[in-house]
């Protein structure tokens, strides 16, 4: 396996396919780099070098008690970029991975990032507060924490339904997709599964978004039940200068899988533009 060692001694697994301009993918909670394989294969087949890592605590990477937060995730991404000597890379993040990309740009600067893509992403801020009245109440996230503690496997299985919009009338449910969601999710250790909830729900990324100077594509489903579009993509697109917002009507949170062909073509067109 391809791995790198972080500053605190953890081994992070990553995939590195193809040749050409680099495109770096950051996955969502609690998945792995495998969640991006449809897009990675497509872009590698079209002349790009594609890289995706399993975030610390997830997949094939080492698990740690500490560091399950967006600052550390962003620092790990910065180390991966340095290790692979990536220049002018396109950074693509889904869900929590979109938060990772956003914090990476905000914390480490946009140098070396030619373009950014946020897909079903958590920014700017998910938690409902006095200054963020359209966010979700803390009780929602407390229920997620309780479910992870009570029966993680069953929770992942249940979560796969709204994640891919399979709970909607007339949806064509793929049990294979649901199975792989549970499989990937169970590869995440308990600390990453539990503490990660605070990372993606309570991190305000508004100021990070203001530091975006590169062309940015924001893709979000209008029927995202996990990260509702009104408090995420619609707000982020107004904060990032000249951001392009593409709304997939009726699409769920897991649109890199359910709408993979459309997303592939949109990514290719944006990257080549």
Tell me the CATH number for domain 3-272.
3.40.50.1820
pLDDT value of residue 111 = 82
Catalytic choice (76, 208, 224, 266): 224
E strand residue ranges, 87-224: 89-94, 113-119, 216-221
Q: Which of 26, 61, 95, 160 is catalytic?
A: 95
pLDDT of residue 187: 98
Q: Which two tokens stand for residue 56?
A: 């610390």
**Domain ranges within the chain, ordered by starting residue:** 3-272
224 catalytic residue (yes or no): yes
What distance, in Å, lies between the first and last C-alpha atoms of the chain? 34
- Active-site residue 253, yes or no? yes
Structure token pair of residue 84: 């692979």
Contact 160, 173 (CB under 8 A): no
Predicted pLDDT at 142: 98
pTM: 0.98
pLDDT along the chain (273 residues), means of 10: 94 98 98 98 98 98 97 98 97 98 96 96 97 95 98 98 98 98 98 98 98 98 98 98 96 98 98 97
Q: What are phi and psi of 248, to 5 degrees?
A: -90, 110
Residues linked to residue 216 through DSSP beta bridges, in sequence order: 116
Q: Is residue 111 helix, strand or coil?
A: coil
What is the spatial distance between Cα 39 and Cα 26, in angstroms, rounded to a whole number? 12
Q: Which of 53, 91, 220, 253 is catalytic?
A: 253
């Amino acid at each position: 396996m391809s791995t790198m060692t972080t500053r605190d001694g953890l081994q992070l697994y990553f995939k590195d396919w193809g040749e050409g301009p680099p495109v770096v993918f950051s996955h969502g909670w609690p998945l792995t780099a495998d969640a991006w394989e449809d897009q990675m294969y497509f872009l590698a087949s079209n002349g790009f070098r594609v890289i995706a890592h399993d975030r610390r605590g997830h997949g094939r990477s080492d698990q740690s008690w500490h560091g399950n937060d967006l600052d550390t995730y962003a620092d790990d991404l910065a180390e991966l970029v340095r290790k692979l000597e990536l220049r002018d890379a396109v950074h693509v993040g889904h869900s929590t991975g979109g938060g990772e990309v956003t914090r990476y740009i905000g914390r480490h600067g946009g140098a070396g990032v030619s373009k950014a893509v946020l897909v079903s992403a958590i920014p700017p801020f998910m938690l409902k507060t006095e200054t963020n009245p359209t966010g979700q109440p803390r009780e929602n996230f407390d229920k997620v924490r309780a479910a992870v503690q009570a029966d993680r496997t069953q929770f992942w299985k249940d979560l796969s339904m709204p994640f891919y919009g399979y709970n909607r009338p007339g949806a064509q449910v793929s049990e294979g997709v649901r199975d792989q969601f549970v499989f990937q999710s169970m590869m995440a250790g308990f600390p990453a599964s539990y503490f990660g909830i605070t990372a993606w729900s309570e991190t305000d990324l508004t100021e990070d978004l203001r530091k975006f100077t590169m062309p940015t594509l924001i893709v979000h489903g209008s029927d995202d039940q996990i990260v509702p579009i009104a408090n995420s993509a619609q707000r982020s697109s107004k904060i990032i200068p000249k951001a392009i917002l593409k709304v997939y009507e009726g699409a769920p949170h897991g649109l890199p899988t359910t709408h993979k062909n459309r997303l592939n073509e949109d990514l290719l067109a944006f990257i080549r533009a």
